[in-house]
Amino acid sequence: MPPRVTSDVEAALAVVRRGGLVAIPTETVYGLAADASNEAAVRRIFAAKGRPADHPLIVHVAAAADLDRWAAAVPPAAAVLADACWPGPLTVVVARAPHVLDVVTGGRPSIGVRVPAHPLTTELLVRFGGGLAAPSANRFGKVSPTTAEHVVRDLGAVPGGVDLVLDGGPCPIGVESTIVDCTVEPAQVLRPGGIPTEQVTALLAGAVGAVSGPSRAPGMLASHYAPACRVVLAESVDEARRLAAAEADPLLIDDVDDLVRYARELYDLLRRADDQHRSAVVAVLPPAAGLGHAIRDRLFKAAAARAG
């Protein structure tokens, strides 16, 4: 039986409170959420996604003031970023508070926390009063979902995959949050995302010093965000069109003039290629600046060699 799809926050709240799984809309992608203080509920996330147990989850909270409840201490870099970027597509990694469950952090001494910017999920978090552990609402390693329909298609047939989908419409950013490790000095960008790396660098340089990166974080596997078909990358539109001409039935992604649109539509286009049984996706890599960092990261991972 497919999960219920609704914009009713009260219904989503009831599911979370009883230990269920709710797909939540955010400005980045849809997350598969459970009460971060309920070990059995969190373990359901890993089972539904087929996610390795040592991959930590990000805890979503209602406001920056909630960071103190999940962190053993809030370092200056995390405080600066939270003040400037929350609500928004940025995750800070900090030392975990004693009560945080090992299952949430993959047994690590740190925890990733963010405040999402979506009205339905904000309302859910405020009314819930706790944290929601939530990776992307898809099978592990596959293309992240940016609509409620994507979630239903990915997890609706998985036993125990998702109990309710809170439908907040298409995600406006379309790629995951930027992750910054604030447990080290200088802070490290672990994953480029919706907050440009240049903005993180400028914020920290003006307040606490330098920033470095990248390191390891969710989505840092060589192959990730991958459709079933091959992904071929090009550095220019002309090169992409030459590569596409050699394919039987490619889907060409060559509009790099609007990076906001590129990011917002990327995952939907990767999914569309599979739906249309395309032989390959041929994509132009955008410049390595602003959102281009995040788009390039996702494309390189989608194109990487796959296990098996």
Per-residue pLDDT, 219: 46
Same domain for 9 and 144, yes or no, is: yes
* 151-168 average pLDDT score: 94
| Domain annotation covers residue 221 | no
Res 222: pLDDT: 57
**Domain span holding position 159:** 4-176
Q: List the Cα angle 198/89/12 in 5-degree steps.
A: 175
Domain presence at residue 51? yes
Structure tokens at 94: 């900090």
Per-residue pLDDT, 89: 98
Confidence at residue 211, expressed as pLDDT on a 0 to 100 scale: 63
Q: Does 211 or 300 have the greater pLDDT score?
A: 300
| 142 and 246 fall within a common domain | no
Token representation of residue 61: 């909270």
Q: Answer yes or no: are the C-beta atoms of 52 and 140 closer than 8 Å.
A: yes
Note whether 20 and 138 are same-domain residues.
Answer: yes
Given a cut of 90, whether residue 208 has pLDDT beyond it is no
Model confidence over 173-187: pLDDT tens digits? 999 999 999 999 999
Of 22-36, 37-51, 54-68, 223-237, the least confident: 223-237
Residues 254 and 105 in one domain: no
Instruction: Write down the pLDDT at residue 306.
Output: 63
- Its sign, for the CA torsion 38, 121, 144, 260, is negative
Structure confidence at residue 2 as a pLDDT band (50, 70, 90): confident
Least confident of 95-99, 248-252, 254-258: 254-258
The verdict on residue 298 lying in a domain is yes
Q: Are residues 53 and 161 located together in one domain of the fold?
A: yes
What average pLDDT does range 74-102 have in this prediction? 97
Share above pLDDT 70 across residues of the chain, in percent, rounded to a whole number? 93
Beta bridge partners of residue 151, listed in sequence order: none
Q: What average pLDDT does this structure show over 111-131?
A: 98
Q: How many domains does the chain have?
A: 2
Using the predicted structure, report yes or no on whether residue 307 has a pLDDT greater than 90. Answer: no
Given a cut of 60, whether residue 21 has pLDDT beyond it is yes
pLDDT in tens, 6-19: 999 999 999 999 99
- pLDDT above 90 covers what percent of the chain? 88
The 10s digit of each residue's pLDDT in 212-227 is 555 444 444 455 788 9
Q: Is residue 191 part of a domain?
A: no
198 contacts: CB under 8 Å, gap ≥ 6:
289, 290
pLDDT of residue 105: 97
* Domain-terminating residue out of 149, 176, 203: 176
Q: Which residues pair with 92 in a beta bridge?
A: 113, 180
Confidence of residue 207 (pLDDT cuts 50, 70, 90): low
Last residue of a domain, one of 176, 201, 222: 176
